[in-house]
Structure 1
């Protein structure tokens, strides 16, 4: 006599459709058990011409991004380009032109009091109606904690159609800002560079045209060691730790993209700025006559 309620088949009862050779291969070469093993697997795939080098770098970026937070990649508060809601139209326009950003945090009274986000394109409305109140142009600001994971943040950016968020520290103060570009750069950021200098240094990269890409946050000591020069980090009773700070002092203003200066036998060209600071320089050694070596 059969049972009135036969037990349902469990997952283990289902037919394993893997071939014998597949089972043997998985036994000999089990799947990766950690992030680093997974990245090594991607490197093996590149070596075997299964994926290209750019695909490997982007996939690695996706994997590593899972362990990063907003606080890891944000533009720190002191470097944020903000707009005072009570500033005259011309002053606001100059900030927009000088920084070339598309979005700006807007504060009232104190920079910690962010009341909204201003889109540069919205300023055109003020040109047509000078009496228009800038407050009416503000978009709501999005606030996220420093601990917010980049994966979650990217999903929020896409879902809410926001491209900028204000990062808040554990005490509720403004710690910085982060954009969707900052998040995506973790995936596609530097794939065009050829790393002639050890990658673990993380601040100076050799390029194919015999020049170098140097992070603005690179220590002056590190630059001296890499290029065998003697740049001094003390000028006019001021101490500088980074090459970006020293170059800004030498120029007398915050450097803009395309500007250049020669210091210590090196020609520094500003490649990219963000948050009021140089993010990348292109550096070329020059000879005694000032020509590129």
Structure 2
């Protein structure tokens, strides 16, 4: 019963709910006051720290435009309208994406969006109909760079699509944006199947006799110890730093480079850093993996 609650507790709760009530009555009038209310709610254990961060994320999203969060044109993984099933499956597997813009000649000519799941019946020869990409692609949604992110999120939800092509003021394709990009602005990075806890940041996984997957943050010292290599760690601490330096620029997904006799391939990267790499050793001289 409410009579059993100490007066001080009731006063604290009443004070906070009074502030929330004021918000719906038009007061306070600025964001700073609203942030104060949110912090006050956390201090009184009305909401958790995670909830407070998400609320702040929602507030910040309202200030963003699509250009602020889009994947740049140069990093778009697209497929050609005349690609074969084999070429498409290769792209799907290597990129690990579920949706792909379909282009005709270049990225300014978007024909539609391909969902990887729509390839399944053709990839396993379960369809008697001859394959043409035009049969399975879906219409592409196009949005301007200047569109507000919160408005786009509402459209994503109401119209049930997950990806949009972003165009500049001249109509040229400047990037793409997904619903995940928006959600990450609110709740933080959403990990995929290659992401692990920080304790596993240096994991190196064997995927075939001479191919390994590794985090870009793997220390060069650990790499040398595992494979009996002799890469210097005086200038760079991580394998990602070594690979980026060898490229001479921040490489994009699927770019490859040979360092020594090992071929490194970029599996995933964002606009600031490499995330995951594959290392392929010469098949004639198998990698000398040390026992763990």
Gaps of 5+ in 1: 1-20, 193-206, 217-227, 257-272, 282-289
Alignment partner of 2:106 out of 95, 103, 110? 110
CA 1:58–1:208 in structure 2 vs 1: closer, same or farther (change >3 Å)?
same
Q: What's the TM-score, normalizing by structure 1?
A: 0.61
Shift in Å at residue 88 of structure 1? 1.7
Deviation at 1:101, TM superposition (A): 1.2
Q: Which residue of 2 aligns with 1:189?
A: 188
Name the SS for the 1:176 alignment partner.
strand
Q: Deviations over 1:51-106 (max 9, x none)?
A: 10111111111111000111111111110111111112101110011111111100
Report the Cα distance in structure 1 between the residues aligned to 2:188 and 2:102, rounded to whole angstroms: 28
Once the two structures are superposed, residues 247-284 of structure 1 have per-residue CA deviations (whole angstroms, 9 ceiling, x without a partner) of 9756744433xxxxxxxxxxxxxxxx367996647xxx
Q: 1:130, CA displacement in angstroms?
A: 6.1
State the 1:145 CA deviation: 0.3
* Distance in 2 separating the partners of 1:276 and 1:42: 32
Change (3 A) 1:96 1:230: same
Q: Using the alignment, how far apart are the partners of 2:252 and 2:166 within structure 1?
A: 24
Q: Does the 8 Å contact 2:166/2:176 carry over to 1? A: yes
Return closer, same or farther for 1:184/1:209 CA change in 2, 3 Å cut-off: same
Q: Residue 125 of structure 1: CA displacement?
A: 3.3
1:79 is aligned to 75
Give the deviation of 1:41 after TM superposition: 2.8
Q: Closer, same or farther in 2 for the Cα pair 1:210/1:49, shift >3 Å?
A: farther
SS of residue matched to 1:117? strand
The residue that corresponds to 2:223 in the other structure is: none
Across the two proteins, how many residue pairs are aligned to each other? 215
- Could you tell me how far 1:44 is from its partner in structure 2? 2.4
Unaligned runs of 5+ in 2: 1-13, 192-196, 203-215, 217-232, 277-289
Alignment of 1:1-293 (within 5 A): 31-126=27-122, 127=125, 128-129=127-128, 131-190=130-189, 230-231=235-236, 235=245, 239-240=248-249, 252-256=263-267, 273=268, 280=275
Residues 1:229 and 1:208: Cα distance change in structure 2 (over 3 Å): same
Supply the RMSD in Å over aligned alpha carbons: 4.0
Return closer, same or farther for 1:210/1:159 CA change in 2, 3 Å cut-off.
closer
